Every structure is written in C-alpha cells, then in structure tokens.
Amino acid sequence: MDIYALSGRLLRLLEAERAHTLTVWALSLGLGPHYRPPANPALRQQLFGLDFPNPVGLAAGFDKNATVPDAMLGMGFGFVETGTVTPRAQAGNPRPRIFRLPEDGAVINRLGFNNKGLAPYKERLLKRRNRPGIVGANIGANKDSENRIADYFTAFEALNGCADYFTVNVSSPNTPGLRGLQEPEMLRELLHGLSNRRAKLPHKPPILLKIAPDLDRDGRQEVANVASDSAIDGLIVSNTTIGGRKTLESPHRGEQGGLSGKPLFALSTEVLSDMYHLTDGKLPLIGVGGIATGEDAYRKIRAGASLVQLYTAMTFAGPQLIPALIGDLATLLDRDGFANIRDAVGADHRH
C-alpha cells in the first residue's frame, strides 16, 4: 500500500469535513502526489479557446477557496474548477453537513456555499496566473443577498483575468431559492447580463452554466432555449440531486442535502444526453455525476460530453484514481477506433 492509500484509509476514520480540511491543508504544503500522465494526443482537445491535455477535470466544491488548484493539476486532472465562491465570505450551514455513504459510493452534502469570499480567492488565483494548467472559477450568490443576480455580476467582474473560464452555479440545492435562477426569465437576465459585461472586457473568458439534474422535461427545454440564445459557451451537467434516495442503503440516506457519487450517475447522464439532443449537439457539455471509472467517463462522452468532471469517487478511491481512469479512457477510445476524443462526443446519438 502506498502512502496515499494509507493516508486515505486514515482520513476515512475522521469525520468527513475534518478529513477534507486536513487533506486541503496537506495539499497546500505540497504533500500531494505528482503524477504526470503521459501526453496523449487522443485525449487532447481545443475547446473554448483552451487547450485541454485530457478531458477529466476536478468538479467544483473540493477547492472552494482556490487554495490548491496546482496541487490538483499535479494529480493528473486536465483542468480544475475552484469555488463556489460568493462575493462575501459566509459560514454555510451548521455542522455536520457532509455525510459519507460508503455502502452506496455516495456523499450527501448540505454545506451551503461556505467560503472565504472573493478577496482571498482572487489573490490566490492572481498569484498562480502565469502557471500552466486550466483553472476555472465557479461563482455563486450569497445566501442573504438582496440581489442574487447582481452577486454573479460582481464575482464575474472582480475575477476577470484571474480564471480561464467561469461557471455560473445556479444549481446548488443548499442555498434556498437559488435553483429558481434556472427559471427562464431570471436565467435570461443573468446570462444576458454576463455576456453583455463580457463583451466590454479585454479578455473574453468562456462562460458555462451548471444545472441541476432535477429539472423536468420542460425545465430542460427552457434552459436549452435560454442557453442557446444567450451566447454562453457550454453547460455543466450536473450538480447534486435532491432525489435519488430510494435505492440507498447507508444509514445516512435520510440526510438533507445534495446527493453525489454513484447513485447520481444514471440521472445526470440522462439529463446530459437530453441536453445534447435539445441543443442539437452544438453547445459543448461537461458531464459530471457519479463518474468512478474510465468506462463511466466514456459513457458520459458518448452521451454528449466534451469534457467530464468528478469529485465524490476521488474521496473514496484516493488520488491514484485519476491517472488510472485517464488511462482506461484512452484504452476505450482506442478499442472503439476513435483517434481523438472529439470523435466520440455524442457517438450514442448517431446510430
């Protein structure tokens, strides 16, 4: 057993949020692994004007305060999404608020956007700005904000020039009312406001919208319509679900919050596939939710994802998962005769 497998076992003996805090602290001291997955032209892709060395990214929520993006890139991720950051620091919900469900390969969290606010986040991103590696900023609204849409504008403008792309998170279930921003009128105001602000900037960063897996058929259609006519660059599908509890076995299955990990895979992949269909395959999609193997990542790509992200599986399997998963994905592409990942995107829609 290597040192990371051993420390992973020890960390799992601790309460989930303590283990996470300790992990981020250790990573910030440079104690993380340094994998260098061999450059593989089959996995490399230009998208949104960015050069992705591989399509497997770290999902938002692991590095909320942008403390360790370079350590995470060093684990082999092709890109890292930091945040969610809100304009002002906030404490989030009372603890305990992260629950492991090992029997189900899942996590339930109700953190509620705990973060230290824009100022330290921006400072850290500015400090690493000239380093290689794609780092995105996932932005949100403060719980007690009087104008939540304005919070996104504030964060976007404050962080311009610091991040390679922006994710507009309107899909966390843990800030009451936030998902209401997925309604067409609000969403239009938010996305048009952001693209108008971007139009005036010297750099024009890509803007992605992260959606919930709990949207019904009409909701998905409305999001597809607004996304298609608002000049945003892509969708991240999906955040955690408020449903999915029926099949769970762990004693924590009744906890309130968003469910992630294996039980989210089927639902989030179905929504992903639907969004690919509803946007005619024209809007790049990032597939997230329950990815634990190279095969899972490949299934998301075939369902319509140009890139994928994961979080929960890494907390169970440790950092060794990342190079293994990327290697398996490359093998699957090769097995099916795809010379580059972009040829496999949406393949399931073509027969």
**46/351 Cα distance (integer angstroms):** 26
Say which residue the tokens 């609204």 belong to.
141
The DSSP call for residue 38 is P
**Closest distance to ligand FMN from the beta carbon of 200 (Å):** 26
Please choose, from the candidates 200, 217, 350, 342, the residue with its C-alpha nearest in 3D space to the C-alpha of residue 285.
342
Q: Which is nearer to ligand FMN, 160 or 174 (CB)?
A: 174
Q: Which is nearer to ligand FMN, 81 or 338 (CB)?
A: 81
**128/91 Cα distance (integer angstroms):** 26
**Which helix (H) or strand (E) is 52 found in, with range?**
strand 50-52
Q: Which is nearer to ligand FMN, 43 or 60 (CB)?
A: 60
Q: Which of 7, 145, 171, 172 is catalytic?
A: 172
**327/308 Cα distance (integer angstroms):** 14
Please choose, from the candidates 89, 39, 31, 40, the residue with its C-alpha nearest in 3D space to the C-alpha of residue 64.
89
Neighbours of 94 (CB within 10 A): 8
**Closest distance to ligand FMN from the beta carbon of 53 (Å):** 20
**Closest distance to ligand FMN from the beta carbon of 201 (Å):** 23
Binding site for ligand FMN (CB under 6 A): 59-61, 64, 84, 98, 107, 109, 111, 138, 169, 172, 210, 239-240, 260-261, 264, 288-291, 310-313
Q: Which is nearer to ligand FMN, 7 or 240 (CB)?
A: 240
238 close to 199: Cβ distance less than 8 angstroms: no
**Closest distance to ligand FMN from the beta carbon of 5 (Å):** 20
| Active-site residue flag, 195 | no
The residues annotated with a catalytic role in the active site are 172
